[in-house]
Structure 1
Amino acid sequence: MSGTFQIRGGKRLHGEITPQGAKNEALQILCAVLLTDEEIRIKNIPDIHDVNRLIEILGDFGVKVTKNGQGDFTFKADRVNFDYIKSDEFKKDGAKLRGSIMLMGPMLARYGEAYMPTPGGDKIGRRRLDTHFQGLVELGAEFNYDENEYFYSLKAKELRGKFILLEEASVTGTANIVMAAALAKGKTRIYNAACEPYLQQLCKMLNRMGANISGIGSNLLTIEGVENLRGTEHTMLPDMVEIGSWIGLAAMTKSEITIKNVNWSQLGVIPNTFRKLGIELEQSNDDIFIPAQENYKIQKFIDGSILTISDAPWPGFTPDLLSIILVVATQAKGSLLVHQKMFESRLFFVDKLIDMGAQIILCDPHRATVIGLNQEAPLRGTTMVSPDIRAGNALLIAALSAEGKSIIHNIEQIDRGYENIDGRLKAIGADIERI
């Protein structure tokens, strides 16, 4: 759904909010249904555009898709239609969704061939796919790229396990190689593997299906190939980007909010990173309770120098939350350097915050210095366009804390990643309308 949000900011919110299932986990887990001809039931799937698109693509492949209830689906890939995969229709459909790249590993492993149009997705700098293809080629696939058609293909008579050192700890790249290696002959070792909770979830699910993967949670995965995989059930983790967003929202709007069922053990450094900004948050069972705070003060490093928050591959701080950290810092007491290392051009949305009255110096495409206003001068409402999913959410939080009315256009970028975000925010008292 395209459209515009109209927000009247400056209201205090109150109540409970439940995070959706994790978008980035969903894209991996859904691709894995191609690895078996038995039924796989997946729960807590977020109802968002990118995920629904992938479910449609699976349906077009001939996977039987049954909806059991909200966010609860059963998939059965016993008869896949390869004509569709080579069709012009798929060249259009697949290109709209970057997550569809993770169909390649399972297709190759189970059917000996895979095809993929050049994917789309966010405009946040160059996100190369080399890691995916290098890994699959090392397992024995032959790679071709048709430059006129922008179409990739991989073929393999058989995949054989081997030692693979990834040049970058790509989450989707690791997922693709793990899925292919699960059905390859012999042993595969992947070093510098991504170890995100979502990837751990994928590996645990594959093991329940009969795969033999060890080293889960570390950067060295060992996969003993098996003949075939069985069906299973899987429940997705809550989305940690949403959880971080709601922590920031509570602080910016001086609100008392409880975030429900967050799966604390999988949040890594996220809670403590927000604590460094001076935000109080408490663990209460599996919930996060954030009390209403008039002010929050950014900690300094022990030697008194200005705090830097930068992203890093897991278990470092996720790049998806840096835009939230940046927005939250605009109303903190103190200064912060935000250093976005993993993607270029993700900080370009700060000009919108500067229009709202934030004190930010954009040093270069990777670094921004924020001088906090300590809630003394609220941000001003303004009209803006959402550039990508994560910045869209950050701008939404800025607008909810700002004085006056804000208009955010291009909200399909927000809808791509967040389920019924306006409905859930209204429920805790936000003044937000979809127009």
Structure 2
Amino acid sequence: MASFEVKGGNKLNGTIVPQGAKNEALQIISAVLLTAEEVTVSNIPDILDVNLLIELLEDMGVKVSRPSRDTCIFKADAVDADYLASEAFRNKGGKLRGSVMVAGPMLARFKKAFIPKPGGDKIGRRRLDTHIIGFEKLGAQFDYHDEEGFFQLSSPRLKGTFMLLDEPSVTGTANIVMAATLAEGTTTIYNAACEPYVQQLCKMLNSMGARISGIGSNLLTIEGVTALGGTSHRMLPDMIEVGSFIGMAAMTQSEITIKGAGVEHLGVIPDKFRQLGIQLEIRGDDIYIPAQEKYEITTFLDGSVLTVYDHPWPGFTPDLLSIMLVVATQAVGSVLIHQKMFESRLFFVDKLLDMGAQIILCDPHRATVIGLGRKHKLRGITMSSPDIRAGQALLIAALSAEGTSIIQNIEQIDRGYQYIDERLRQLGAEIRRL
């Protein structure tokens, strides 16, 4: 099991380019199963989760050529639909939460699909109800095989319908949209997720011949077509990486430019970091963060303590709350971090407490951070990364801390951030992989 050794306290400097969006990639790459024609996808992040999904498609019989690490050409003209019922698929797919995304395309095109028990981050319950109920409303039937631990879905034909989702699930919306593109008739999805990832998927599907309207809203209408064709698609920069780099610059008092940040797709992310007192400038599609000696958390207009919480788009993404929490530890002032969506995502704060941070974990969903204003720097320790986003947050903490930190279980970080140690070294960080 690999580790990072990080010598903290260095001010970084330079330009960094964000990778392609991980959460978009898992949807876009699954969508290639909807057609037998070639689909070219570029700006693919070279990370464990995405590469594992590409391997799964190859195991299913999809032809994959990779002219460069960030570009793949897919051709799903000889898919073995029965492979999904195999133990090999359950073992590999069960390691990856994103494997659930192949269900919609498989159900639409091959009339059957299998979903293994979800894998991925250990951040709390991540139910599949929205996916399954949506497929049922389109006419699919499902059985759960308890001993093997997978769902089996089948339908001789999918039929368009109206559905009101019980939650605006990003992956649930994407899965249902992909299934509905080849359904008979019109499907209307209300309370749909409208994150940029879903918007990108819908735009790609339309370029393949789908008829989707309402993109960017929570009301999607999909007119079913008989077949989809090939296309080319370029993925957005990863907004979570962009937010991570903003936080990293502030924590390490560094002057950093984030090149090609996809600013128009960041929503409230820049403003949320500004609420922590972080200065940043939008320069075209780049973000410039100047070196700051200190940053002071704002309060609400009535003087009450700032609360930062996650919310479905266009609200603040839950994937950046771990970063916000770490960055707040060295700010001036206090903030309440309220993680509504996942009940285990704040359980990495014990590592920050060991580093000298002042945090009160109120309950599984809320933590109050008392900013130290750099009066007491964090100190390096040995710690373990519990999930992708907490791992990156701990890495940022280690970069700003005095002394040397060892971060274990960095496979979790590698699942979401490509070549992160190499890219940080280019900015002047002292980090090496053990």
Same fold (TM over 0.5): yes
Corresponding residue for 2:307?
308
Corresponding residue for 1:31?
30
Measure how far apart 1:82 and its partner are. 2.5
Q: Deviations over 1:342-366 (max 9, x none)?
A: 1101001011101101010000001
Contact 2:355–2:381, Cα closer than 8 Å, also in 1: yes
State the SS of the aligned residue for 2:58.
helix
Q: Deviations over 1:304-342 (max 9, x none)?
A: 111000000111000000000000000000010000011
Corresponding residue for 2:89?
90
Measure how far apart 1:70 and its partner are. 2.4
Query: Could you tell me how far apart the structure 2 residues matched to 1:74 and 1:409 are?
Result: 35
Corresponding residue for 2:202?
203
Query: Could you tell me how far apart the structure 1 residues matched to 2:69 and 2:46 are?
Result: 8
Query: Could you tell me how far apart the structure 2 residues matched to 1:98 and 1:339 are?
Result: 24
State the SS of the aligned residue for 1:334.
strand
Q: Deviations over 1:236-267 (max 9, x none)?
A: 00111110000000000000000010111000
Corresponding residue for 1:165?
164
Q: Deviations over 1:187-243 (max 9, x none)?
A: 000011000001100000000000000000000000000010010000000111110
Contact 2:116–2:151, Cα closer than 8 Å, also in 1: yes
Measure how far apart 1:10 and its partner are. 0.5
Q: Deviations over 1:1-33 (max 9, x none)?
A: x40000000000000011100100000000000
Corresponding residue for 1:246?
245
Alignment of 1:175-324 (within 5 A): 175-324=174-323
Corresponding residue for 2:385?
386
Contact 2:81–2:106, Cα closer than 8 Å, also in 1: no
Corresponding residue for 1:145?
144
Query: Could you tell me how far apart the structure 2 residues matched to 1:381 and 1:298 are?
Result: 24
Q: Deviations over 1:40-85 (max 9, x none)?
A: 0000000000000000000011000011112101000011112322
Q: Deviations over 1:358-384 (max 9, x none)?
A: 010000001000110111211011110
State the SS of the aligned residue for 1:6.
strand
Query: Could you tell me how far apart the structure 2 residues matched to 1:336 and 1:151 are?
Result: 42
State the SS of the aligned residue for 1:331.
coil
State the SS of the aligned residue for 2:398.
helix
Corresponding residue for 2:155?
156
Count of residue pairs brought into register by the alignment: 434
Matched, 1:431 2:412: no
Measure how far apart 1:87 and its partner are. 1.7
Q: Deviations over 1:125-146 (max 9, x none)?
A: 1000010000001000011111
Alignment of 1:104-119 (within 5 A): 104-119=103-118
Query: Could you tell me how far apart the structure 2 residues matched to 1:343 and 1:87 are?
Result: 31
Query: Could you tell me how far apart the structure 2 residues matched to 1:263 and 1:409 are?
Result: 31
Measure how far apart 1:285 and its partner are. 1.4
Query: Could you tell me how far apart the structure 1 residues matched to 2:272 and 2:110 are?
Result: 44
1:194 partner letter: A
Q: Which is worse superposed, 271-280 or 93-102?
A: 93-102
Query: Could you tell me how far apart the structure 2 residues matched to 1:365 and 1:83 are?
Result: 41
TM-score, normalised to structure 2, is 0.99
Measure how far apart 1:96 and its partner are. 1.1
Corresponding residue for 2:74?
75
Query: Could you tell me how far apart the structure 2 residues matched to 1:199 and 1:323 are?
Result: 23
Measure how far apart 1:175 and its partner are. 0.4
Query: Could you tell me how far apart the structure 2 residues matched to 1:122 and 1:21 are?
Result: 20
Corresponding residue for 2:406?
407
Corresponding residue for 1:352?
351
Query: Could you tell me how far apart the structure 2 residues matched to 1:392 and 1:154 are?
Result: 35
Measure how far apart 1:284 and its partner are. 0.9
Q: Which is worse superposed, 267-276 or 142-151?
A: 142-151
Query: Could you tell me how far apart the structure 1 residues matched to 2:81 and 2:170 are?
Result: 27
2:188 partner letter: R
Q: Which is worse superposed, 68-77 or 272-281?
A: 68-77
1:333 partner letter: V
Corresponding residue for 2:125?
126
Contact 2:276–2:295, Cα closer than 8 Å, also in 1: yes
Query: Could you tell me how far apart the structure 2 residues matched to 1:92 and 1:228 are?
Result: 31
Contact 2:81–2:110, Cα closer than 8 Å, also in 1: no
Query: Could you tell me how far apart the structure 2 residues matched to 1:37 and 1:217 are?
Result: 28
Measure how far apart 1:93 and its partner are. 1.3
State the SS of the aligned residue for 1:289.
strand
1:401 partner letter: S
TM-score, normalised to structure 1, is 0.99
Corresponding residue for 1:368?
367
2:297 partner letter: I
Corresponding residue for 1:342?
341
Corresponding residue for 2:100?
101
Measure how far apart 1:92 and its partner are. 1.0
State the SS of the aligned residue for 2:222.
strand
Runs of 4+, deviation exceeding 3 Å:
none
Query: Could you tell me how far apart the structure 2 residues matched to 1:301 and 1:201 are?
Result: 34
Query: Could you tell me how far apart the structure 1 residues matched to 2:147 and 2:37 are?
Result: 37
- % identity of equivalent residues: 68
Measure how far apart 1:116 and its partner are. 2.0
Q: Which is worse superposed, 5-14 or 78-87?
A: 78-87
